[in-house]
Structure 1
Amino acid sequence: MSMNQKEELRTQNMIRFIEAARELIDQEGLESLSIRKIAEKAGFHNSTIYLYFRDMDHLVMLATLKHFTDYSRSLARLSRQNLPPLDNFFAIWSFFGHTVFRSPHIFYNFFFGKHSDNLTDIMEEYYAIFPEEKEEYSALIGIMYYGKNITERCYRLLESLLDCEGLRIGRDNLEMVNEIIVSFLKFLLEEKCQDPESDPGIMNHRLLEMIKYVTGA
């Protein structure tokens, strides 16, 4: 077997694991997932998973990226609109909130879980496996989308507002404002996880109103 064939086989096996995990997450939820269930559904022995993934959490991160599809497409469309910085900023946050509050367990794990400080590598790996899902973004949105973690992603967005007049943010308080936004996002996701019946639209509205308040928008 040639190197190309081996690499192709490796990719196909990874896809089988990822799709098996994805189906189980959608059917049973993140909390019910186990290596045994994933391996059984994918048609492999339990230990085989470690030939392709660092651990189950690594696999889960890749499996849940499918939930970014609508968000990533919205960002691609937004990238072509060339909106003013403030409008662009809130459009990105609106798309984000619309997405994460509909799958709170998945996105809490993604942005605040075990591998949440390694998002750039996770996302680049995913799009290498599923290149047909990769979108093209503006420079700002691309830097944000492939940010290392949620803190860096949010910070990059805030930086885009530094030249906007009349706001309450500057270089001197950017990190503090960013920490407030990230902390409130985490709080809202935790609240939504604990109360699945809460309206995701209301959660998104609360997030956007808080961001408007701390930025002075």
Structure 2
Amino acid sequence: MKKKEIQLSRMWKYFVDATAEIIEEEGLENVTIRKVADKAGYNSATIYNYFSEISHLIFFASMKFLKSYTDEVAVYIEKGKDPIEKYLLAWECFCIHSFKQPQIFNAVFIMDLGDQPEKLLEEYYKIYPADLINIPEELKIILFERNVSKRGRSFLENALREGYIKEENVDAINELTILIWQGMFTNILNNRKSYEFQEAVKITMNYITEIVHNANLFSFKKYDHTNQQ
């Protein structure tokens, strides 16, 4: 690593770590550029030499809180005997952690980050490669994908290749699963329901499991967006 890159990485970490401390102490909603600058020991203008907007800084700091999820999802998936079980277990792990930390998961997977958010993921793991230790290679490909739909489809494509689901049902299963998760996640994020996270996980996984296990009994008609006025 060149001297300039080392310096860049060091400064980058100062600001990300300072943001993570504020999230831990005051909550994500209380992060401001000024607070980050004060905690890191620099002025606010310096931050913009490394981050184009505060949402990127919050994203990188939130990624540090995802380590427990990325470590655990590999363990969950390993329990699955076939692609369908692995898909359901991956979703169960995602539900558990996203419902426990809705603000963090919103910052990482939902919040508008501008163009090419996947590049932010690559940048994060370049600076924090230790976060990928003990992560299986096939799972790393999915972890580098921020889009929840694409992450889910990766598991379903394995199930399709092994004949567990029909090709015409892949997109429908994926979309319905995400819609169910999003509905519960939005309720929790916006405090619309007073579920304990364990109850929220149970309800969500019951619906997702029913859809996946009964998918081949139905013929889903794909919605054609191009025909809508």
Could you list the per-position Cα deviations for residues 70-119 of structure 1 after superposition, in whole angstroms to 9, with x for gaps in the alignment? 11112344566674222222221122111111111121232111128745
Helix, strand or coil at the partner of 1:114: coil
Residues 143, 156 of structure 1: 8 Å contact kept: no
Equivalent of 2:171 in 165, 168, 175: 175
Question: AA paired with 1:26?
Answer: E
Determine the C-alpha separation between the residues in 1 that align with 2:107 and 2:68: 19
Alpha carbons of 1:117 and 1:160: their partners in 2 closer, same or farther (altered >3 Å)?
Answer: farther
Partner of residue 4, structure 1: 2
Q: Normalising by structure 1, what TM-score? A: 0.86
Determine the C-alpha separation between the residues in 1 that align with 2:148 and 2:114: 8
Alpha carbons of 1:212 and 1:118: their partners in 2 closer, same or farther (altered >3 Å)?
Answer: farther
Number of equivalenced pairs: 213
Equivalent of 1:191 in 167, 178, 187: 187
Partner of residue 61, structure 1: 59
Gaps of 5+ in 2: 215-229
Alpha carbons of 1:5 and 1:150: their partners in 2 closer, same or farther (altered >3 Å)?
Answer: same
Partner of residue 16, structure 1: 14
Equivalent of 1:95 in 75, 90, 93: 93
- The alignment-based identity, stated in percent, is 26
Residue pairs, 1:134-213, within 5 angstroms: 134-163=132-161, 169-195=165-191, 197-213=194-210
Question: AA paired with 1:191?
Answer: N
Deviation at 1:39, TM superposition (A): 1.1
Deviation at 1:139, TM superposition (A): 5.0
Deviation at 1:146, TM superposition (A): 1.6
Determine the C-alpha separation between the residues in 1 that align with 2:106 and 2:81: 29
- 1:70 matched to 2:68: yes
Gaps of 5+ in 1: none
Q: Normalising by structure 2, what TM-score? A: 0.82
Residues 61, 110 of structure 1: 8 Å contact kept: yes
Helix, strand or coil at the partner of 2:159: coil
Residues 118, 149 of structure 1: 8 Å contact kept: no
Question: AA paired with 1:198?
Answer: Y
Alpha carbons of 1:18 and 1:107: their partners in 2 closer, same or farther (altered >3 Å)?
Answer: same
Helix, strand or coil at the partner of 1:101: helix
Alpha carbons of 1:106 and 1:114: their partners in 2 closer, same or farther (altered >3 Å)?
Answer: same
Please say which of residues 30-39 and 156-165 is displaced more in the overlay.
156-165
Residues 84, 156 of structure 2: 8 Å contact kept: no
